[in-house]
Amino acid sequence: MTFVEHQAPMREQSIPERFEEMVARFPDRLAIKCAGRSFSYKELDRASNRIARSLLTVENLGSGSVALLFDHGVNVIVAMMGALKAGKQVCVLDSRAPEVRMKFIIDDCRISAILTDTGWCDLAQKVFCNYRNVLNVDEIDQTISPAELGLPIAPSHIAFIAYTSGSTGQPRGVSRTHQERVARAISSGRSRNLCGDDRLSLLHSVAFGSGGADLFMALLNGVAVLPFDIASEGILNLVQWLKRERITVFHAPPAVFRELENVEYSPDHFTDLRLIRLSGAPITERDFELYKKKFTRGTLLEIGMGSTEVEAISNAVVNHDFLFPKEGSPIGYAREGRELLILDDEGQEIPPGEVGEIAVRSREFTEDFGRQRDLSEGKFRRDPKVADALIYLTADVGTRSNDGFVIHLGRKDFMVKIRGYRVELGEIERAIASHPDINDVGVVAWDRGLGEKYLVGYVVLRQQMALNVSILNDFLRTKIPDYMVPSTFIVLPTLPLTNGKLDRSALPKPGNSRPKFTVAYVAPRNDVEKRLSNLWREVLSLDEVGMNDNFFDLGGHSLAASRVISRVIQTFQLELPVKALFDAPTVAEMAAVITEHQGKQLGEAELERRLGELELMSDEEAQQLVAKETVKR
């Protein structure tokens, strides 16, 4: 292997400048591959140049803000690079977010143009109210010159604006400069010893900080990045994909990683995988034991911590011999350019072994940096000891060992992580409170075990009535993303208060009973419904499930849907996509789908043989097989 060369000392560059260096050095090396489509570095460069030129025909030169609206995959990456080459500030919209959230971001970010493709063009026109520029990349004239534009882009120019959950009840934007992204990509690549043979997974959406960081860690170091949509493809396909695509660096939220426990494969299944990265939520000892059980000693595990405001904070790379702490979650040592502090309630640094707030000191956090990232709200403060540095207050609680290793012990405020997403409970409460039938509301993130949290909404209704959970869920999904919608709701006569404020500790912990729907409970009527009902009860941790209950009103989400479909495939020996549960979201409807397909089910040996064939197939061969089977059926 030839390791990627890194410039030392690091000089300031824009993203296009650094990327074009990679194109010049590795023109024929694979840059992106997803769903049968692939681009070399040269092909990605030419395609993004065409998009940049097309964008400049509808949007004048200058540092205007451009939004991207795409599925997770190749198009969003090509469009992003094109917009950056055109000198624009980029904001990636989450295609699963409600329209009202998109419109807020579009206005808040002063978006003047949107890049999209045929699949999302209608929605783009709708959220842009048909008065802004919408550019469909599928319709770009291929005769447009693919040559470099050569636009001068200052490294200090803002490249990205990412939005996260905000304490004011509205999404909050955090900007990133070109130089920030380039510097972090180079240092991250160096710390992980990236080389030309590496193939990096991309499960996180590039609309969020970790996804963008992974993308540019790959493309600005000359290695391949392979997007995978876990929500639509599911866990079983993920396991086969990791092996088939010879992924060497696999990055996933702990919630997704835990799903591997339910998939059968030997530890030596992944012969190319050298590093697993878990981030987005604290890991548990059971996660670590799962890593040791499912992967050989040749695969290392990276754990760490980051935030939207400052991105990478800490990390550690461990092997099977690591001693997991008895309490808390390990997050490792400070990343390059950072120093970890533990502070008491007065903001004073405390010695190793004591518990306090985790804080980060860095000279990279300048006054301008702090003003962009809520210096006024107290997340940053001036360092009394180092004049040219700021201290970032994480609101996480932890302790530090003598050698600087930090253990995470919980949160200080009401910002929580749900399935890897950073969520502000106040934003959810404001969304629920806007429903006309709700008089008062509180939201709590409860621990389901195994380090997984779920949201519960406590509501006081305006009048004596039954809460229609289906209607409330539909209402909330127009205002907040699905991962912010509580899994269940509990109706209370009043909310417990202390000194006039909600006392969350006094809210009752939810049990495992079925939510009180307006639709009547219907028991299983045949063997298929009974087996399905048991699967749903196990995945959703419920005592009972009615045959006409909607899976998503019961607290189900995309990851839980993947769990259900994986178990349906194993239980009934059927090949079903995750999308099947979205199309048939009740037990009765899913039972009908299974009954329809039972005559076409595969025997166990045949199913294993087919899966074995798919492991060895290229994307193109696999697609041809699927097409043939579709015709047969």
What percentage of the chain carries pLDDT values higher than 90?
Answer: 45
Average of per-residue pLDDT across 369-393? 73
Whether 595 and 618 share a structural domain: no
We report the CATH number of the domain holding residue 597 as 1.10.1200.10
For the ranges 94-98, 359-363, 380-384, 501-505, the lowest mean pLDDT is seen at: 501-505
Domain ends where: 451, 473, 506?
506
Give the H/E segment covering residue 342: strand 339-343
Whether 476 and 547 share a structural domain: no
Measured between alpha carbons, how far is 630 from 501 in angstroms, rounded to an integer? Answer: 58
Whether 22 and 167 share a structural domain: yes
278's CB contacts (< 8 A; 6+ apart) are 251, 252, 253, 254, 257, 287, 301, 302, 303
621's CB contacts (< 8 A; 6+ apart) are none
Pairing state of beta strands 488-491 and 249-252?
unpaired
Whether 93 and 83 share a structural domain: yes
CA distances from 241 to 217, 305, 527, 573 (A): 21, 27, 33, 20
Measured between alpha carbons, how far is 45 from 115 in angstroms, rounded to an integer? Answer: 17
Tokens of 238: 């993920």
pLDDT band at 6 (very low <50, low <70, confident <90, very high): very low
Measured between alpha carbons, how far is 510 from 494 in angstroms, rounded to an integer? Answer: 16
Whether 163 and 22 share a structural domain: yes
Tell whether the model's pLDDT for residue 605 goes beyond 60: no
Q: Are 176 and 124 in contact (CB under 8 A)?
A: no
End-to-end CA distance of the chain: 46
Q: Are 135 and 55 in contact (CB under 8 A)?
A: yes
Question: Which of 46-50, 183-187, 305-309, 463-467 holds the top average pLDDT?
Answer: 46-50
Tokens of 520: 């009547």
Helix boundaries (H) for 410-453: 425-433
How is the beta sheet containing 111-116 ordered, strand by strand?
A: 133-136, 111-116, 65-69, 89-92, 158-164, 172-177
Which residue type occupies 325?
A: P
Is 187 domain-assigned? no
Whether 482 and 584 share a structural domain: no
Helix boundaries (H) for 26-111: 41-58, 74-85, 99-108
- pLDDT tens for each residue of 12-36: 899 999 999 999 999 999 999 998 8
We report the CATH number of the domain holding residue 441 as 3.30.300.30
Measured between alpha carbons, how far is 16 from 562 in angstroms, rounded to an integer? Answer: 37
pLDDT computed for residue 589 by the predictor: 93
Is 252 domain-assigned? no
pLDDT computed for residue 619 by the predictor: 39
Domain ends where: 163, 178, 193?
178
Q: How many domains does the chain have?
A: 4
Tell whether the model's pLDDT for residue 350 goes beyond 70: yes
Whether 592 and 610 share a structural domain: no
Decide which of 323 and 365 is more confident. 323
Average pLDDT over the chain, rounded to an integer: 85
Is 305 domain-assigned? no
Q: From the CA atom positions of the chain, what is the Rg in Å? A: 25
Domain ends where: 178, 196, 222?
178
SS (H, E, C) 210-259: HHHHHHHHHHCCCCEEEECCHHHHHHHHHHHHHHHCCCCEEEECHHHHHH
3-state SS class at 250 = strand
pLDDT band at 498 (very low <50, low <70, confident <90, very high): low
pLDDT band at 630 (very low <50, low <70, confident <90, very high): very low
Tokens of 37: 């489509």
Q: Are 405 and 330 in contact (CB under 8 A)?
A: yes
Measured between alpha carbons, how far is 357 from 285 in angstroms, rounded to an integer? Answer: 22
The DSSP output letter for 633 is: -
Tokens of 624: 């041809």
Is 302 domain-assigned? no
Tell whether the model's pLDDT for residue 495 goes beyond 90: no
Decide which of 128 and 405 is more confident. 405
Whether 464 and 493 share a structural domain: yes
Tokens of 138: 């599928």
Which residue, 89, 152, 97, 146, is CA-closest to 115? Answer: 89
The DSSP output letter for 365 is: -
- pLDDT tens for each residue of 211-265: 899 999 999 999 999 999 988 888 889 999 999 999 999 999 888 898 898 888 8
Whether 593 and 610 share a structural domain: no
Helix then strand then coil, in percent of the chain rounded to 5, is 35, 25, 40
Whether 33 and 82 share a structural domain: yes
What are all long-range contacts of 570-574, with beta carbons under 8 Å and residues at least 24 apart?
571/531, 571/535, 572/528, 572/531, 572/597, 572/598, 572/601, 573/601, 573/602, 573/603, 573/604, 573/607, 574/598, 574/600, 574/601, 574/602
Helices 15-25 + 41-58 axis angle, to 10: 140
**501 is in which domain, residue-wise?**
419-506
Whether 24 and 153 share a structural domain: yes
326's CB contacts (< 8 A; 6+ apart) are none
Phi/psi zone of residue 555: left (φ > 0), alpha (ψ -120 to 50 degrees), beta? left
Measured between alpha carbons, how far is 343 from 360 in angstroms, rounded to an integer? Answer: 10
pLDDT computed for residue 259 by the predictor: 85
Whether 116 and 89 share a structural domain: yes
Tell me how many degrees the CA angle 493-495-499 measures, rounded to the nearest 5. Answer: 140
Q: What is the pTM of this model?
A: 0.77
